[in-house]
Every structure is written in C-alpha cells, then in structure tokens.
Structure 1
Amino acid sequence: MAIYKWVQSVGGLKIAWMIVCNALLATWDWVKIGFMTGVYWVIELFNKLQAAFKTVSTNIQNFFGDMKAGVLTILQNMVNGGIDIINGFINTLNKFPGVSIDLIDQMTFGTNAQLENEAAKQPRNNELTQYTNKINELIAGRKKALQAIITESRHPLPPEMLR
C-alpha cells in the first residue's frame, strides 16, 4: 500500500520507475567509483614501495662507494705520510756531495677513488630522481582518471564521498 501511495505522490508509474532507475544508476556509479578508488590506492601503495626500494638501493650503493673512497683516502694519507718521512731522509742524504737520490712521488689512489665514486653517484642519483618523477606522474595520472570518473558520473555524489 505504501508503494502505491508513493507512486501516486510522485506523479505516476513512469516517473516512479525513472526515480528508481536513477537511484540504481547513482548507486552503481558510487560502487564503481569506490572500487576504482580502492584499486588506485593499492596501486599507489605498490608504486610508493617501488620508489622506497629504489631509494634504499641507491642510498646503499652511494654509502658503500663513499665508505670505499674514505678508506682508500685514509690509506693514501698514511702512505703519503710515510713517503714524506722517507723523502725527508732522502733530502738529508742528497746534501752529501756525490749523492743524488730521486724523491718518491706521492700516491693518489684515494683521490682517484673519490673522483670515481662521485662520478658513479651522479648517474645513480639522476636515475633515482627520474624514477621517482615517473612514479609521481603515474600517481597523478590515476588521480586525474579517478576525478574524470567522478566528473563523468551521471549522478552527483554526496559531499562525504568527495573527501
């Protein structure tokens, strides 16, 4: 009886049928939007996880490169300290008439390792930046796509669903 009264109050069976169809279509749109929001959220989590792994990998490579260059620089400084002492003795010996000993050259393997490390870090850091930018673009694209789905929806969404 309540359904009959409602049908009569809205203006007849055709209008009542259109109201019911509209409600069903609006509900279906909300279900689609809710589903796609969840799917995009999960994909975004995976993308952020990928970016985190790439960041950790790059930072570990940079750390070990820095550590290697630092150790080699310490060794170089120790060797060069010994060479300075030996060159001091050679200079003293060269003061005697008829003695001519060539000085020992300083070592540069630590400095070379630091230069090589810095040269290797730049491409890794650039690759990380490009990778992160690509992931951010993908996330922004999905947010745009979801907004397009909401905009193209035939029925307005309640304000609490737009948050």
Structure 2
Amino acid sequence: MASVNETVKLDKVSYTAEPARSEVAEPAVMGGKASVTVAVQAHSFRGSMPLPEHLAQYDRIVPGAGRLIVEEFQMNSQHARQVELMSLRGSNRKDMRAQVIAGLLVLIGFGLVYELAEHDYDGVAIAVAVTLLVSVLTAYLSGTVMRKRRRRNQGGIGRVSAAVQA
C-alpha cells in the first residue's frame, strides 16, 4: 500500500502524490489501493487586469511584480487615451480646415455669381449658382451618409470617443 508521499506505478504510468490540503482532497485507502479525490479549480478573467488573488501570488513569486503589473496597466491605459485624444483632435482640425476651405470657395462662388449678374451674364451666373449649390449639397449629404455608415460599422464607438474628449 502506498502512502500519500510515495510514487505509485501502474503499468507504464507513474503518479506521484503529494500531501494535499484537507479542503481540496480526500485521501482514501480501500482494498490495498490508495486513491485521492481532488477538487480542481480553474480561474479565468476578462480584461487586462488579473484578479487581486493572482497579483498576490505574483508578489509571492517575484516581490513587487503585482505593483509592476498594475503600473503597466495604468501606463498602457493612459497611452491608449492619449492616442485616441490625439486622433480626435487631428480629425477635428482636419474637419475644421475642410469647412473653412469650403466656406471660402462658396464665398468666392457667390462673388463670381454677383459679378456675372452685374455684367449681364445672367445665364452663366445662374449656371454657376446652381453648380455651386449642387456641389455644396452633394458634399454635405455624402459626408452625412459616410458618418452614419462609419458609426454603424464601429458599433457606437463614437459615443465613447466623445466622452474621452470631454
């Protein structure tokens, strides 16, 4: 009969039993054979931070490892927010430039329409005005449609980004 600390050889496989905590194992000896019932526990978590118990275990193995893991998580989170904020600011600047340029082009177009009308080129003035109006509306409407598509494809990420910016 094998004690709890001995190696048991069955055919070609050997099992080494170590003393188990009483709350997870029930050693039993029946008919000259030793058997141990063991409760197995698995941990899983989602996200980038391990459970506090796991951090404590890391600290026991490598002193200060838990703190390093938390600091790394904080630095990565801060970096991700900064990158997203920079992206939002760049996008806002790009949109602002596009609006200013579009506004200037519309003003130039209206000035051209006015000058053409003043010099009795009414037909050309109307053609320029209609072309200007159609191009501005097309740009506005296509931009609105593209923004809606982008939001739908991102699954609402735009709302999170707005919260980060505020």
Task: Specify the TM-score bucket, using the shorter chain as the normaliser.
Answer: 0.3 to 0.5
- After TM superposition, the score normalised by the length of structure 1 is 0.46
Which has more helix, going by share of residues?
1
- The higher relative CO (CA closer than 8 Å, separation ≥ 6) is in 1
Which has more strand, going by share of residues?
2
- After TM superposition, the score normalised by the length of structure 2 is 0.45
